[in-house]
Amino acid sequence: AGRCAFYVRVKSSSDTVAGERIGKVEIIVGNEKIVVDVSAEVYSCAVPELEDAKFGMINWLFPDHICKQHNVAKDSDEFWDMMGKYIDNELDMRNTHLQLPSGMPIRDEEGKVIGFDFTFASKVGNLALKKGFNYIYGGFVARFEDWKDDEQYLLWDRKVGSCSIEGYRQLKLYFEAQYAEIEKHGWKDRYMQGLVDEPQFPNSMSYRALSGICRQCMPGIKIIDPVESTELYGALEIWVIKQAVYDKYPERYQAIRKEGGELWVYTCGFPAGDWMNRAIDLSPLAGRLPTWMAVADNMLGFLHWGYNAWNDKPYEETCYNQRSGERKLPPGNGFIVYPGDNGPWDSIRSHLQRAGAEEAELLLQYMAKDEAAARALIAKVCTSFKDYTKDISLFADVRKELLEALSR
């Protein structure tokens, strides 16, 4: 009584014999049957297992949204069962790093912060590592109030600046307690730390001071953050750069890479328009090609904040209401999976992001074999994060060219 769309995904193991496969797909509804002839070409090149991935992927997971949409109490047995299903889905999308919830402040009777509780965050971290994540990293601790501020303020005490004496006291308590958890669980080789979401040029110095406190209390731990500044020298190891910001300062970021910094790229609600992004109303290639452009620009990972940030009615209201409805983000920006009957349901966009991660691995292999040829191939479909093809047929031909080249 209408139309129905199917997304068919066929997995092949790395030891599958290369060659053409021919078969049929039967769809039976009541007494009706449709038979569709299908063929698939298996190539001899292989995407590495996730534990051997060279390209990183992050989508932030929000436990509170799981509780609300699936009607489970936080930290209950039902919650952890559901949390496990979402973590499995993130792994299927080739996510390699999971951001943990931040520690919770412990206060005395007068409201003074006297410590921090990482019990819940540690449970999430252990579950993620047990299921197969390569790395976990600690949640944010501070952020500016306005992007022009010269200070970062503590997330749990928004009037306390990170560069103040009180800020130092609380941050020292935080990082020392977090480091104790790292040592307790044996995480040191698989743990990183986040500090601030999107530090800006005006507050770069306060970010560097905050980083210094972290490094004093957590020796040997790498720092990873989404950044919108080029002036954070020495403050972090993994620079996750917004696509539009990178296109504005490519030479400066590449100089940082040559000095030892690792570059990733991220997309979010802004800027809109033609920029590569994952919004529902953009070309499917806008959410698939960021990983191709990342490889071309010597970036080794991709981040998007919106994995499961839903409104109350995620199937009807796809523009996430940020800041209690003050503004709405582009459609689908807040999420890439839906809350299904008993766990997450993939979107076409999540399948495409996974495919982009797989293709990034193949492109890195091609770059290692013939960098000039690999760059020429990428240039056929994208030359910047704003200049890319929307022609699906062209992309399919170029992807086939990549598979054939690697198979040779």
Provide the CA 122 distance to its chain's centre, in angstroms. 20
* Mean pLDDT, residues 273-284: 93
Provide the percentage of residues in the chain whose pLDDT is more than 90. 92
Which residues are CB-contacts of 389 (< 8 A; sequence separation ≥ 6)? 285, 289, 380, 381, 382, 395
- Residue 29: the pLDDT is 87
Inform me whether the pLDDT recorded for 12 exceeds 90: no
The pLDDT score that the predictor gives to residue 252 is 97
Lowest-confidence range among 25-34, 190-199, 337-346?
25-34
Peptide bond into 271 cis (omega under 30): yes
User: For residue 85, what are its two tokens?
Assistant: 């299903």
E-strand ranges in 95-152 read 97-99, 104-107, 113-117, 135-138, 142-143
Residue 5 above 90 pLDDT? no
Question: Average pLDDT in the 320-327 region?
Answer: 77
Task: Quote the CA–CA distance of 397 and 400 in Å, as a whole number.
Answer: 5
Report the Cα 262 to chain-centroid distance in Å. Answer: 15
pLDDT attached to residue 43 = 95
pLDDT of residue 213: 98
Whole-number Å distance between alpha carbons of 340 and 174: 36
Task: Please say whether the beta carbons of 247 and 221 come within 8 A.
Answer: no
How far apart, in whole angstroms, are the C-alpha atoms of residue 117 and residue 134? 24
User: pTM (2 decimals)?
Assistant: 0.95
Task: Please give the mean pLDDT across all residues of the chain.
Answer: 96
**Mind listing the pLDDT tens digit for each residue in 185-211?**
999 999 999 999 999 999 999 999 999
First to last CA, the chain: 48
> In the prediction, which pLDDT does 1 show?
65
pLDDT value at residue 115: 98
Per-residue confidence band for 302, with pLDDT thresholds at 50, 70 and 90: very high
Q: 174, 180, 182: which is closest to 115 by C-alpha?
A: 174
Q: What are phi and psi of 188, to 5 degrees?
A: -50, -40
**Phi and psi at residue 315, in whole multiples of 5°?**
-80, -25
pLDDT above 70 (res 324): no
